[in-house]
Amino acid sequence: MYQKVQSIRVVATFFGLWISAYILGNFQDYVAFFLIFSLGILHGSNDITLIKRAYNTKNLTFLKVLMSYLLIIGVGTTLFFSIPPVALILFIVFSAYHFGEQHFHFLKIDNGIISYLFYLGYGLLVITLILYLNASDALSIINEMIGVIISLDVLRWILLISAILTIITGALVYLKQKLNVFIELFYLFLFSIVFFASNLIWSFALYFILWHSLPSLADQVQYLYKEVTKETIIQYIKSSFIYWLISVVGFFVLVQFLENSPTVMLSFFFSFLAAITFPHVLVMHKILKD
């Protein structure tokens, strides 16, 4: 089953690559944003339910969970307004670890420094590939977000460091686990082709949806309902719909207060994703390590 799902994702990625070649301009971005705001946001919309299940104690009421969730989002948002460079670094580190953990959690690696560095290195490698292969747009957005000029050399160094970290920790993981090195190298090669041929938003959307959000949704449905079926997927959507709706409506309401600039809009978009990412990473780490 796992191999079948992987094959479907590879085919879908090639289809996404085809789209990037034949569907150009704003329409491609509209499709990308639609996927992100539907499946992408949905995969993090049920965090409150997941938190209650993961930390199953009598003292953990819905109100306490909600307040804790909003507090973490509030802290993340405040960081982006007060010290944006620190907030961006934290967002990238959290996201990188989360991407790596989601991609490799099937290995059931012992929780320890090697596994943490492996997840972090791999996720950082993927994120930096997206940024480096779309450097012009990526650097404009980063500079707008943090108010500091970041050069291409910085991305090169991060790419090199993340690759070295992935190779070293991956070799240690390989000695203990059945890690298919060749298939993982093929995936990275495929990602690189897609990221090189596509613009920043489409590159991010393809990876975020096909290789992160959909597998995460399947894991969440399995965790909550013990099986992934049409009925349990519908249950998941029903239970998370109101949170998804609030997130999407809230984003578009806040957008109305921004100046009509593509760079400003994209920087706010990624800041928004960062704010809701922090609590999601924490609860998914709890679920995936159990």
What does pLDDT average to in each consecutive run of 10 residues of the chain (290 residues)?
69 85 74 88 84 72 76 78 84 91 82 88 96 92 82 94 95 82 92 92 92 90 89 91 85 71 67 77 80
Could you tell me which of 207, 200, 218 has the C-alpha nearest to residue 43? Answer: 218
Query: For residue 148, what pLDDT is reported?
Result: 79
Q: Nearest 10 degrees: CA dihedral of 181, 186, 188, 194?
A: -170
DSSP for 120-140, please give it: HHHHHHHHHHHHHTTHHHHHH
Is the CB of residue 240 less than 8 Å from the CB of residue 45? Answer: yes
DSSP for 35-103, please give it: HIIIIIHHTTTTHHHHHHHHT--TT--HHHHHHHHHHHHHHHHHHHHH-HHHHHHHHHHHHHHHHHHHH
DSSP state of 258: S
Residue 147 carries which side chain, given as an amino acid letter? Answer: G
Max distance between CA atoms of the chain, in angstroms, equals 55
Q: Please, what is the average pLDDT of the chain?
A: 84
Over residues 127-173, the pLDDT tens digits come to: 999 999 999 989 988 888 787 788 899 999 999 999 999 999 999 88
